[in-house]
With several copies, the nearest count.
Chain A
Amino acid sequence: MTQMPPLNDLYREIVMDHYRTPRNRGELPTPPAQRADGHNPLCGDEISVYVLINGDVIEDIKLTGHGCSISQASSSMMSAAVKGRSLEQTRELVARFKELMTSETADSSDQALRELGEIAALSGVSKFPVRIKCATLAWNTLTQALDDAPQQG
């Protein structure tokens, strides 16, 4: 069993910024928005994601809930990243983010990290296995919202 890496890997500057100043807090009227709720039974973190889908684009996204710095920062960064993206691009981003989390030896080439943008700052979480669930909660809840949303014509 290895020693844990230093905390700076976890609490990067930009992560702390999103935690202190979360983006896209609030609710959206449902419908037309789609809401999904997620929670982490182990720690009690809770999140609600509201997505407003227009055609195949996420036109708006809002979040409520509470949780630790990692879950809050991750959800804030997620919301900033997917707003305005196409559904397909969003699902790709979710997949890429989960790869980043689940494997310490994940593809962290410049190319992959560049596509993730500032979200790449969360890469340190993968070295703290118990915190991975904190980071992925918002993303799983987003996926849930997209799955639940009525197909648009």
Chain B
Amino acid sequence: MSYDVRVLRSDFPLLRRVVNGHPLTYLDSGATSLTPRTVLEAMDVYYSRHHSNVHRGVYQTAAEATEAYEGARADVARFIGAASPDEVVFTKNATESFNLLARAWGTAHLKEGDVVVLSEMDHHANLVPWFQLRDSHGITLRFLRVNDEYRLDLSNLDELLDGARLLSVTAMSNVLGTVTPIAQLAERAHAAGALLAVDGAQSVAHLPTNVATLGADFLAFSGHKMLGPTGIGVLWAKSEHWAETPPFLGGGGMISDVTLDGFTPASGPARYEAGTPPIAEAVGLGAAVRYLSSIGMDAVAAHELDLTAYALERLAHSFDERVRIIGPSTTLDRGGVISLDVEGVHPHDVSQVLDQHGVCVRPGHHCAKPLMRRFGLAATARASFGPYSIPAEVDTLVDALRDALEMFT
């Protein structure tokens, strides 16, 4: 249940990059992950040998492209423990997945006044589509708050869930690193008669995921955060929910028939995949999940846990309280996303100075403005890990932060 990270690093071409005279110290996997050679090769082979449009072709390469595309669906289904590949719908990113959920499932099942519960910890991807649905269809939104321990405040959960149709919440905060108690939320949501949608954009990339035991009804995530390419995301749902979800985007491939009077939608995942799908991207994502499975997600999680423990420890003890961690201070129910508030140095400047050391950390609100407001911050500087991250990079981060502090004192 562990792997040689030095060997693994050689799979990632970007780690050979030198920036500002320093080897790249990539600590922004929370924004997007690095891409291993095997994923790039899978896409290159696809384009060089098999590329064709899918589904409607009879000839050899069209059959191969279809096989590659549907094979990727099966790979992803296996990776998350889905009951069937048909439960996996490809979108362009996790954000589209939430829009599909809100607009297609949402408009079919929610009417004016119906309650959806979200959380203050959530990413805009799991907030804005619901605001849009509120504005167009008059649904009511309620919010779980975040407590001073950077956890979801569950004290009023039953109250919030009272009469609610859906709870939609992240499994791991992309700002705090907080891992939320999905099993418990599922149980209580279901007890209250609500369904549970989970934002897995962070969790699926870093923790083992098994939808058979997760308890969720819907799960959204993005390829580019889990070693896959840009341009592809996933919405998983239980078959019974897909069966009651109308189409979202309209166009070719999602129809059973079209006349000048109207259209009949197709069934299966095709129903939600209008137009030419992200074929090469699916192939890349398939390669990514196979790569992750070959390492083992348990091993990835264990590796990142160790690294997070080391980082929390070093960050807590190197700066005389001048660097504050915005998030849980131990690895309990926590992933490798570490937001920093550096005394007297704005996150933009932190990132700028760190860049001089080749260190990549992201400044900003991380698309979680309500959460930032909750903690009275406009922005943080966020370091986040991937399966390829190593303790030496934490050391480089600490040294670079020291430089930033000096420069701005």
Contact = CB atoms under 8 A, between A and B. Distances in A.
B378 A44 contact: yes
Given A1-B64, A44-B365, A69 B266 contact: no
B41 to A, nearest CB: 15
A68 B353 contact: no
Contact of B60 (A4, A45, A46): A4
Residue among B60, B347, B349 with most chain A CB within 10 A:
B349
23 contacts: A3-B19, A3-B60, A4-B20, A4-B356, A6-B356, A7-B353, A7-B356, A10-B352, A41-B255, A41-B257, A41-B266, A42-B56, A44-B372, A44-B379, A67-B378, A68-B347, A69-B346, A69-B349, A129-B63, A130-B57, A130-B62, A130-B66, A134-B348
A94 interface: no
Contacts of B60: 3-4
Contact of A68 (B348, B356, B407): B348
A43 B366 CA distance: 9
B392 interface: no
A82 interface: no
Nearest to B256: A41
A43 B20 contact: no
B355 A4 contact: yes
Interface residues of A, number: 26
B3 interface: no
B55 interface: yes
Interface string A55-69: 000000000001111
Contact of A131 (B62, B347, B348): B348
Contact of A46 (B64, B355, B378, B407): B378
B233 interface: no
A23 to B, nearest CB: 18
Interface string B369-408: 1001000001100000000000000000000000000011
A43 B364 contact: yes
Closest 9 CB pairs of A and B: A68-B348, A68-B346, A44-B378, A41-B256, A1-B64, A44-B365, A44-B379, A69-B349, A43-B364
Residue among B20, B60, B348, B379 with most chain A CB within 10 A:
B348
A114 to B, nearest CB: 28
Interface in A33-90: 39, 41-46, 66-70, 72
B58 interface: yes
Contacts, number: 76
Given A1-B50, A67-B346, A69-B346, A128 B352 contact: yes
A1 B45 CA distance: 12
A11 B348 contact: no
A21 to B, nearest CB: 13
Contacts of A66: 346, 378
Interface in B236-275: 255-257, 266
Residue among A42, A66, A69 with most chain B CB within 10 A:
A42
B67 interface: yes
Nearest to B355: A4
B261 to A, nearest CB: 17
B24 to A, nearest CB: 13
Contacts of A1: 50, 64, 67
Nearest to A128: B352
Contact of B352 (A39, A42, A131): A131
